[in-house]
Structure 1
Amino acid sequence: MQQGSGGLVDLLLSADTFYDLLSTVQYLDIIQASNTDAINELLALEDELELARVSLNSQMQEAEERREEAEDALDEAKAARDELEAKIAAQQAAEEAARKAAIEAAKKEDGKTFTTESGGSATVETPSNDNGPGSVSPGSDKDAFVSEWAPRIDAYLAGSPLSGQGKTFAEAAFEYNVDPRFSPAISMVESTQGRYCFKPHNAWGWGSSSWSSWEEAIWAHVQGLSIGYGGRLTVAGAKKYCPPNWQYWYSTVASEMSKI
């Protein structure tokens, strides 16, 4: 209206009365004030929107950086997993190769004797199955585990000083997550099931230890197998248990385990 009119002179000329002129001027002032408020509000909104845009861009950039970091971390985790799996596979392959080599070496000396860890002698044996005795895990049902393995161990130890200790071996094996055949088989190799102990109740060539009862000795030995040998017969464990003749020791213990 301001741009399309002549201004104050036109208002004076077009007004019929002074009252009409004042009303028109007042009306125009109200419109201008309203427009000014609207413009200021729009400017404030524009500033607010600009701040929101800047904040959103910053958040988007931060989110993108975190996404890239997450992808990098995921790639690193996958690479670490692949590397670990490759190492495990390599270790398993090396263990299997060493196991087969030990069995083959024992086959060449089958029936001969070797010096055990306790200083005694044992006859070299090889398991009937080239895959060895496998591995037994106790699981979660103690009663079922003991019920299965106690009589099998008792049958294996029948007539020896360790006779009747099947339940002790089984309960200790369950407690320490050890293959239940491992300790009884070692007792055969190292002392002919407790017949020739180099220390009282030490049927396993276990350091220089002695105990006051078979129960105490069994629990201590099974615990030691869990802590120091992983509770399973392995080539690495054989090298640690009987270093000079570990191939024969490994093969013979494996053969005895297969009998239980």
Structure 2
Amino acid sequence: MAVLLAAPCLGAAPAMAWAVTEETEAKISDAQRRIEESAAAYDAALSRIAELEQQVADNEQRIAELTEELPAQQERSDDAVTVLYKMNREGNSLINMVLASESIVDFLTRIDYLMRYQDRNLETIRTLKAMQQELVDTQASLGAALAEAEEQERQAETSLAEAQEAREQAQREAQEEARREREAREAARKAAEEAAAAAQRAAEEAAREQEAAQGENDEQPEVEAPPVEEVPSTNPSDDGADWSNDKASFVAQWAPRINDYLAGSPMAGTGEVFAEAAWDYGVDPRWSPAISAVESSKGAACFRPHNAWGWGSASWGSWDEAIRAHVSGLARGYGYTLSESAAKKYCPPNWQHWYNRCAEEMNMI
């Protein structure tokens, strides 16, 4: 299994952040698939609704035009019918025209004139019928478009509800995991403190016994404290993401916050892309921007073009493409938000430091 290596985790000793692997790319969870499918269905429904709204507007405009034009066309058609009736009644037969003509040229001229005159009147009548049929067809198309728009709205509501429920579930699970990790860290801290205190007491007792055995003039040995390893000490606050909103409201809430955080950096102005990607893939909207700060000072020191996250050897042609790819990878390979397990996978050599840095950055957004 190929494992992609990334640029060194900033702010720490040289160590490599591990990007998503082929395995995590291939094994998308059912929950994540549900999130992504609901987002795609919601976007597709909204896109179709927009198309139908334009179709409805075009149909309504054409109906208004036809309704305005039809009375005049009806009047012209009535006049044409009257003319044709008179032509037939007055006996403009072929024999009459032959008898009335002074020459063959005169006869042909009369024939051509009458044919043109008749065709023009017939065309007036045909135009009326065509306009009437177009009106009927346009009204039917309008009705069908309105019915489909209503169906698409129902589908959008269903997809939105599914999207909201799936994201809220991911959020709840992440909060529960964070709670368990905090409790485990607290228990480990207490156990470590008790073990250190016991070791200190044992060392002091051993030192006293040695001092008593060697006499008062002997030099007292120094008691060394056990080394202290950095542990996760900063927890990201709850993201406060309101997944009960629709996508537009979610983006409107988070894009300005992320833009404020990224202001002045090479990634300035990408808050809307981060927020859209967070919605589409169902992750904490602060996580990817925070990692960009830890790994590349918000895009100032990229390992590869537009790779602000130490994301393997990947490179992209734009921030838009890069952000969406990274957020997708986080969702599929690391979960909803920052966790100890995610930190151990993303930056295993010094995951504790990486975890603390990410948490600090997330709390700034």
Q: What is the TM-score of this pair, normalised by structure 1?
A: 0.52
CA deviations 1:130-162 (Å, max 9, x no partner) are: 553224445141111101100000000001110
Whether 1:95 and 2:181 are equivalent positions in the alignment is yes
Aligned to 1:220: 325
Aligned to 1:174: 279
CA deviations 1:97-128 (Å, max 9, x no partner) are: 4556999xxxxxxxxxxxxxxxxxxxx9x88x
Q: d(CA) in 2 for partners of 1:102 and 1:185?
A: 27
Q: d(CA) in 1 for partners of 2:186 and 2:269?
A: 34
Q: d(CA) in 1 for partners of 2:329 and 2:298?
A: 18
Alignment of 1:57-206 (within 5 A): 95-97=181-183, 131-137=235-241, 139=243, 140-206=245-311
DSSP 3-state at the match of 1:259: coil
Q: d(CA) in 1 for partners of 2:257 and 2:187?
A: 30
Amino acid at match of 2:237: P
User: Which runs of 5 or more residues in structure 2 are unaligned?
Assistant: 1-173, 190-229
Q: d(CA) in 2 for partners of 1:236 and 1:157?
A: 27
Q: d(CA) in 2 for partners of 1:217 and 1:233?
A: 19
1:250 to 349, 355, 358: 355
Aligned to 2:341: 236
Which of structures 1 and 2 has the bigger CA Rg?
1
Matched positions, count? 150
Amino acid at match of 1:184: P
Q: d(CA) in 1 for partners of 2:186 and 2:288?
A: 22
Identity %, equivalent residues: 57
User: Which runs of 5 or more residues in structure 1 are unaligned?
Assistant: 1-87, 104-123
Q: d(CA) in 2 for partners of 1:258 and 1:241?
A: 19
CA deviations 1:10-33 (Å, max 9, x no partner) are: xxxxxxxxxxxxxxxxxxxxxxxx
Change (3 A) 1:233 1:210: same
RMSD: 2.9
Q: CA deviation at 1:247?
A: 0.6
Greater relative CO (CA pairs within 8 A, separation 6+)? 2
CA contact (8 A) 2:235 2:359 kept: no
